[in-house]
Amino acid sequence: MATTQHILIIPFPAQGHVIPLMELANCLVKYNLRITFVNTENTHKRVLNALADKDLLDDRIRLVSIPNGLESEEERKNLEKLLEAIFRVMPGKLEELIKEINGSDEEERITCVIADQSLGWALEVAEKMGIRRVAFLPAAAACLVLGFRIPSLIDDGVINKDGTLIKKNQPLQFPPTMPLMNASDFVWTRVGNMAAQKIMFEAMVQNSRVAKLADWMICNSTYDLEPGAFDLAPEIKPIGPLLASNRLGNSAGHFWHQDSTCLSWLDKQPNGSVIYVAFGSITTFSKPQYEELAHGLELTDRPFLWVWRQDSTDEAESNATYLEEFQQRIARKGKMVFWAPQQKVLSHPSIACFMSHCGWNSTVESISNGVPILCCPHSADQFINQSYICDIWKVGLGFERDDASGMITHAEIKNKVDELLGTMTYKERALHLKEMMMSSVRKGGSSEKNFTDFVKWIKT
Ligand code: UDP
């Protein structure tokens, strides 16, 4: 008989999925569970390269890889090709991997599969192999509630069977504690071209349907953040916030090396003074938009820390020279890094606010640290998250776009920074939300209870 349970965890191959699932893995090993963490080959290489010290990885977490059938970086960046290849290639490879592990030694058998909710097929593989299964949602519960609603949206004539919109301006009837969702906020309508939108829609339909195969559905959120969504779908259990500070070991799971020089730079800035600017791992803006942003930040006359990934602009070819000039220009007031230890940054006392693309992880990390947010959503679920931030929790502000250029202008940036930081209201609300979130993971809190029940189940 196996002495400890052996859990297989599989994230979607993107940074915003690998980090929270790695955090979950780190939380689980504290309960003496063994983890096999399955990345695609490319992600696996990146995670290993970015690990500062491989010895710091908890030895109960084994990192392994399977192919996803895509050769080039170009293909991997194309959402349409990525989703197609993931569905076509990975289920068979996952099954082979589990057979190989289970065949090696009775003690090694996989006893539970925890799959990213956006890899619903992994639940089907686990079911077929008679293994218990869990769906993990690294997004707002509201997104899965939207996914569950798709059949009735089709029946009610709001969307066509392929996800294209019929009624564009009819908000969904959701409780007031949920974002007001118009058809144009539907996650799949906010990605790439029409072909990408259709494949994303199909994936959402399929994933929402097979989520029902899961014995547990867990979500990196807190009940009090989204009571409306959790009341509508009580089968989704919030266990968040999962944060690096909760866990053992080091920060495995990042695709880039984290540049900690920004922490000593932050030490030198006055308390509550710095604007932290970061747009997650995928979002890119145009050069003119960055120009506006830089100009706007300069006008605020406040220090800022700006994460500039090497693939940050839409026009990558001229990035190096452009970046050098840009860095020189902002050096007076600002600091730039390619990839920051974001959670440490957000918990630093010098931070005043976070200018963010509103990815769910960034949103959770910001409010868990009591940091108000300036919202620059770009795609997918980021508009729903913005609505939570600005309309429901009221801990941030969105930007108006210029009618003619569609850009956020420098003047708008300066105005919104001044508006957000010119009062204590947003900060106070953010601190209140922080307290609410952090008390949910303390002993007896709602997320902690769910997590304890989940661990009990997983250990039986
Ligand atoms: N992140 C980081 N350093 C950075 C920028 C981002 O560690 O310089 C992390 C961030 O803390 C979060 C993740 O990358 O955990 C980004 O996830 P999110 O859902 O916010 O956005 P996505 O990358 O999925 O668009």
CA of residue 393 to ligand 1 center, whole Å: 21
pLDDT of residue 8: 98
CA of residue 362 to ligand 1 center, whole Å: 6
Which ligand 1 atom is the nearest neighbour of the CA of 254?
A: 7
Distance (Å, whole) CA 406 – CA 385: 21
Which ligand 1 atom is the nearest neighbour of the CA of 280?
A: 23
CA of residue 61 to ligand 1 center, whole Å: 22
Across 79-83, 312-316, 448-452, least confident range: 312-316
How deeply is 227 buried, as exposed, middle or buried, from its count of CB atoms within 10 A (0-12, 13-18, 19+)? middle
Q: Residues 427, 428, 430, 434: is their CA dihedral positive or negative?
A: positive
Cα–chain center distance at 9: 16
Across 129-143, 236-250, 421-435, least confident range: 236-250
Phi/psi for 113 (5° steps) reads: -110, 125
Decide if pLDDT at 1 tops 60: no
Residue 75 or residue 68, greater confidence: 68
- Which residues does 422 contact at the CB level (< 8 Å), separation at least 6? none
Q: What is the mean pLDDT of the chain?
A: 91
pLDDT of residue 318: 55
Q: Does residue 269 sit in helix, strand or coil?
A: coil
**Structural domains for the chain:** 6-250+440-459 (3.40.50.2000), 261-437 (3.40.50.2000)
Reported as a single tens digit per residue, the pLDDT across 290-345 is 889 999 999 999 999 999 887 766 665 456 676 677 778 777 789 999 999 999 99
CA of residue 282 to ligand 1 center, whole Å: 9
pLDDT of residue 81: 83
Decide if pLDDT at 2 tops 70: no
Residue 391 or residue 312, greater confidence: 391
Of 361, 366, 385, 389, the one to substitute when testing ligand 1's pocket (max ligand atoms within 8 A of C-beta) is 361
- Segment 354-369 shows an average pLDDT of 97
CA of residue 339 to ligand 1 center, whole Å: 9
pLDDT of residue 311: 74
- Segment 216-221 shows an average pLDDT of 98
| pLDDT cut 90: percent of the chain above it | 71
In this structure, are residues 222 and 440 in contact, taking their beta carbons and an 8 Å threshold?
Answer: yes
Decide if pLDDT at 445 tops 80: yes
- Segment 145-171 shows an average pLDDT of 89
Residue 384 or residue 81, greater confidence: 384
In this structure, are residues 243 and 38 in contact, taking their beta carbons and an 8 Å threshold?
Answer: no
Across 1-5, 118-122, 291-295, 332-336, least confident range: 1-5
Beta strands 216-219; 274-278: pairing state: unpaired
Q: Does residue 275 sit in helix, strand or coil?
A: strand
| pLDDT category of residue 209 using cuts at 50, 70 and 90 | very high
pLDDT of residue 361: 97
Distance (Å, whole) CA 310 – CA 337: 10
| pLDDT cut 70: percent of the chain above it | 93
Across 68-72, 180-184, 353-357, least confident range: 68-72
- Segment 342-364 shows an average pLDDT of 97
Instruction: Report the pocket of ligand 1 as residue ranges, CB < 6 Å.
Output: 14-16, 19, 254, 278, 280-283, 307, 339-340, 342-343, 359-362, 365
